[in-house]
Structure 1
Amino acid sequence: MSYSTMAPDVWDPGFETDPDSMLSSDQCVIKGQHFFIRGLIEIPVIGSEDVFSWGVWVSLSRDNFTRSLEVWNTAGREAEKPYFGWLSTELALYPESTTNLKTNAHTRPIGNRPFIELEPTDHPLAVEQRTGITLDRVREIATAVMHPAKARPGEAR
């Protein structure tokens, strides 16, 4: 019921040796100038209590990234106001690019990744987050992610 990416789309393995770059399971800095956190786009599964999740990366301003680090291990951090960011993960199975969709990252209690709320647009991913998806759609996503060669002709891979 969830799929995740290991790094923002702009991460390059060559950054691993750059002293101003770092990639952990939850945060990323590129050349001391670009800042990212990992969070979850959660989509309700219609007719169930289940939630489907995309593990994605969101770029934040330096100030918001710094603030998120300051409260990372602070009880009550979920009271923080959301951090504006840009989606930095391309989910290729959507017919329109997901990169640079506007988001708000909502901090949650310690041990829980931020909830990534998409701007309520007509982008298919934003519509799914608002309206939910069927279990058949979950299966379709699973097939596309796990077996991209089985995607239908014309379907984004």
Structure 2
Amino acid sequence: MLAFREKIVKCGCCGKDIGEIVFDKSYKMPDEIWNLSKTEKEERAQIDSDLCRLDDRYFIRGVAYLPVNGTDNSYGWGIWAEVSQEDFFDYVENYEEDNSTKPKFFGLVANVIPSYENTIGLELTVQLGSETQRPEFYFTDPMHLLTKEQAEGISIEKVHSFSSNKS
């Protein structure tokens, strides 16, 4: 399930309102947990708004930002990453503290991201934030389009295409 944040955007050329465009999408849980039956979820998963556990696997929720070229905005994919048990419990233990100076650690994308191929299992690094910020995710596969777009940005037209893609 996805949640959306919308913002009215003005045309860079003429200043007219383009309309409302969604500038982020977020997933309520990792896809693998989402796809379980209600009984399986109850038996095998522990689910919180920012933390999940499935059997002996651990997930945290964060945001992967893509800068939007020609604007001061970024598009935020609110996704889940599977992380090691050690990193998960370290995050849980220090959840209410400023963790922004801690070293980045490894994770794997746990959601299908519309408009992109092969996102489940895509490698990323996790940078924890302050006590009021979700972790930030940085894609690391140099051959994947998300890694390129995170570094170089995306067009407002691509953001608009995300808005119309409700899958």
State the match for 1:128 in structure 2.
149
Unaligned runs of 5+ in 2: 1-22
Q: Residue type matched to 1:30 in 2?
A: L
Tell me by how many angstroms 1:81 deviates.
Answer: 0.9
State the match for 2:165 in structure 1.
144
Whole-angstrom distance in 2 between the partners of 1:58 and 1:14: 23
% same residue = 24
Q: How does 1:58-69 map to 2 (within 5 A)?
A: 58-69=81-92
Runs of at least 4 residues off by over 6 Å: none
Is 1:22 aligned to 2:39, yes or no? no
User: 3-state DSSP class of the match of 1:36?
Assistant: strand
Tell me by how many angstroms 1:82 deviates.
Answer: 1.1
Q: TM-score, normalised by structure 1?
A: 0.85
User: Does the aligned pair in 1 maintain the 2:122–2:141 contact within 8 Å?
Assistant: no
State the match for 2:18 in structure 1.
none
Q: TM-score, normalised by structure 2?
A: 0.80
Tell me by how many angstroms 1:92 deviates.
Answer: 3.1
State the match for 2:10 in structure 1.
none
User: Does the aligned pair in 1 maintain the 2:123–2:141 contact within 8 Å?
Assistant: no
Unaligned runs of 5+ in 1: 149-157
State the match for 1:152 in structure 2.
none
Whole-angstrom distance in 1 between the partners of 2:130 and 2:64: 16
Q: Residue type matched to 2:78 in 1?
A: G
Tell me by how many angstroms 1:120 deviates.
Answer: 4.3
Whole-angstrom distance in 1 between the partners of 2:144 and 2:83: 21
User: 3-state DSSP class of the match of 1:97?
Assistant: coil
Q: Residue type matched to 2:123 in 1?
A: K
Tell me by how many angstroms 1:15 deviates.
Answer: 3.8
Give per-residue Cα distances to partners, 1:34-60, cap 9 Å, x unaligned: 000000010001011101000000001
Aligned length: 142
User: Does the aligned pair in 2 maintain the 1:15–1:22 contact within 8 Å?
Assistant: no
